[in-house]
């Protein structure tokens, strides 16, 4: 379902409840600021979500808890300041996440701990100052980590070891 380029501001609880077999959803280029906790509750088959270019400031804990098939999320160009440690907790199949162009200042060590299939993570153009050495310890398939145009001021020894396995740590 493609609802991009509209004037949607809020995703209400179970907005698309009748379409529980929804696999792809694009809500990009709207004015979404508010996502209610159970907005994605009935989307167990959802595997692609595109919400870039909105005004989202945070993702609630367990927002995607029932979207267990989710493997690609685009959340670029919003206004996130952090990634809640439980936002993607039940999304073990998640492979690609784009959170570039936000206002993220740090990555909590548990933000992606359950996303063991993650291969691609774009965090460029944020305000990241420091990356916790354990932030990606469970992401052994992560080969593309984009961190350019941030404010990173130090690299931990652990990152040098881990980055040998990454295609890009820029």
80, two tokens:
């996130």
* Tens digits of residue pLDDT in 30-60: 999 989 888 888 888 999 999 999 999 988 8
Q: Closest Cα partner for 57 from 26, 38, 82, 25?
A: 82
For 101-139, give the secondary structure using H, E and C.
CCCCCEECCCCCCCCCCCCEEECCCCCCCEECCCCCCCC
Residue-range domains of the chain with CATH:
1-170 (3.80.10.10)
Q: Is the model's pLDDT at 109 over the cut of 90? A: no
pTM above 0.75, yes or no: yes
Residue 164 pLDDT class (50, 70, 90 cuts): very low
48-50 and 24-26 strand pairing: parallel
């Amino acid at each position: 379902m493609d609802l991009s380029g509209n004037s949607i501001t809020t995703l209400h609880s179970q907005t698309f409840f009748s379409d529980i077999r929804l696999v792809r959803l694009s809500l990009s280029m709207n004015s979404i600021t508010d996502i209610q906790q159970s907005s994605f509750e009935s989307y167990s088959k959802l595997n692609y979500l595109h919400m870039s270019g909105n005004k989202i400031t945070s993702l609630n804990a367990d927002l995607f808890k029932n979207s267990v098939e989710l493997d690609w999320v685009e959340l670029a160009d919003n206004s996130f300041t952090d990634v809640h440690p439980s936002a993607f907790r039940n999304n073990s199949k998640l492979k690609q996440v784009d959170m570039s162009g936000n206002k993220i200042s740090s990555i909590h060590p548990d933000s992606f701990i359950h996303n063991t299939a993650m291969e691609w993570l774009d965090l460029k153009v944020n305000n990241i100052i420091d990356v916790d050495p354990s932030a990606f310890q469970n992401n052994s398939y992560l080969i593309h980590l984009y961190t350019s145009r941030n404010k990173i001021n130090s690299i931990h020894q652990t990152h040098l070891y881990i980055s040998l396995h990454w295609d890009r740590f820029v």
